[in-house]
């Protein structure tokens, strides 16, 4: 199977990969290198140093989830990327998790609900979830293929046992976003428990708590909106402020 056919197969299956193609004129023009999500490669651009550089560009753009042209040592490369929709793991089968799943689905995310309490974690309560897993965080996350850089974590319960188990997994993962419910007092108590469990201050600082943007919302729907808004802002490296307050520069990023 050719590299392009393999790439098309991965795209059709909803996988993540990148193909780097030499654009510059010369003997190597058209050479391709396929880079998979786990860093494995297939093919070659004809030069080991160029292959290594191309791997770096591919891994960078594969997780940034955009295709673009890159220059490397006078060689013009095009990095073509395919990727699945990002995932949102909601820990806690609470009422506003259902609305959060709906908003996530509408904005192009794949939402999952995880809660060991089988009487609450049901498909009927979360029709927009990709999957509802009635297990503790560790086996649930393993079943869902782990936590990668394209996974956001929302811890929505007020149960310390479930919160701590979910956050311990999340903080030791590559999750791009980790948010947790809780009052200031609950956060302080959670921090003490996480420190006692061996988490570092740097790890704990990754938790966005209280979760969500300050929209002033009161209802379950408004709470879910504030959470999803922060998830999207974090994904794009934004603070989530008002666009009217944005100074000079682009409002939206444009791929090269």
Written as one string, the DSSP assignment of 61-100 is HHHHT--EEEEETTEEEEEEEE-PPPEEEEES--HHHHHH
Among residues 85, 50, 79, 54, the alpha carbon closest in space to that of 66 is found at 79
CA angle 160, 163, 164 (to 5 degrees): 80
- Poorest-pLDDT segment among 60-64, 137-141, 238-242: 238-242
pLDDT for the residue 249: 57
Residue for token pair 């056919």: 5
**Which value, in Å, is the radius of gyration of the alpha carbons in the chain?**
21
Cβ contact 22:29 at 8 Å:
yes
Residue for token pair 């999957």: 131
pTM: 0.84
pLDDT for the residue 101: 97
Residue for token pair 């394209």: 150
Q: What integer is the mean pLDDT of 158-180?
A: 92
Distance CA 219, CA 216 (A): 10
Helix (H, G, I), strand (E, B) or coil at 193: helix
Mean of all residue pLDDT scores within the chain: 91
pLDDT for the residue 253: 58
Q: For the domain bounded by 87-235, which CATH number is listed?
A: 3.40.50.720
In the predicted structure, residue 182 carries a pLDDT above the cut 80: yes
Q: Confidence class of residue 239 from pLDDT cuts 50, 70 and 90?
A: confident
Neighbouring C-beta atoms of residue 6, cutoff 10 Å: 17
pLDDT for the residue 256: 45
Q: What integer is the mean pLDDT of 104-108?
A: 95
What are the tokens at 151? Answer: 């996974």
- pLDDT tens for each residue of 120-168: 999 999 999 999 999 999 999 999 999 999 999 999 988 889 999 999 9
Q: What integer is the mean pLDDT of 9-13?
A: 94
Percent of the chain at pLDDT above 90? 71
- Extents of the domains making up the chain: 3-82, 87-235
In the predicted structure, residue 226 carries a pLDDT above the cut 90: yes
* Residues 6+ positions from 244 with CB-CB distance below 8 Å: none
Beta bridge partners of 81: 18
What are the tokens at 54? Answer: 């191309």
In the predicted structure, residue 39 carries a pLDDT above the cut 70: yes
Distance CA 186, CA 198 (A): 19
- Poorest-pLDDT segment among 101-110, 160-169, 187-196, 240-249: 240-249
- pLDDT tens for each residue of 242-254: 776 665 556 555 5
């Amino acid at each position: 199977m050719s590299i392009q056919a393999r790439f098309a197969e991965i795209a059709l299956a909803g996988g993540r990969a990148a193909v780097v193609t030499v654009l510059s004129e010369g003997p190597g023009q058209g050479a391709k290198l396929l880079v998979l999500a786990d860093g494995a490669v297939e093919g070659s651009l004809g030069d080991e140093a160029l292959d290594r550089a191309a791997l770096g560009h591919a891994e960078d753009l594969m997780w940034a989830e955009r295709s673009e042209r890159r220059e490397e040592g006078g060689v013009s490369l095009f990095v073509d990327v395919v990727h699945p929709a990002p995932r949102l793991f909601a820990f806690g089968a609470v009422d506003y998790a259902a609305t959060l799943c709906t908003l996530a689905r509408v904005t192009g995310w794949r939402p999952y609900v995880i809660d060991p309490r089988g009487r609450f974690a049901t498909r009927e309560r979360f029709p927009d979830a990709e999957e509802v897993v009635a297990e503790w965080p560790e086996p649930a996350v393993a079943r869902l293929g782990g936590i990668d850089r394209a996974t956001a974590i929302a811890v929505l319960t007020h149960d310390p046992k479930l919160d701590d188990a979910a956050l311990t997994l999340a903080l030791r993962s590559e999750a791009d976003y980790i948010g947790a419910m809780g009052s200031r007092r609950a956060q302080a108590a959670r921090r003490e428990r996480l420190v006692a469990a061996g988490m570092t201050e740097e790890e704990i600082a990754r938790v966005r708590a209280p979760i969500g943007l300050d929209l002033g919302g009161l209802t379950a729907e408004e709470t879910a909106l504030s959470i999803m808004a922060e998830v999207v802002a974090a994904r794009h490296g934004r603070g989530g402020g008002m666009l009217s307050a944005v100074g000079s520069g682009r409002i939206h990023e444009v791929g090269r």
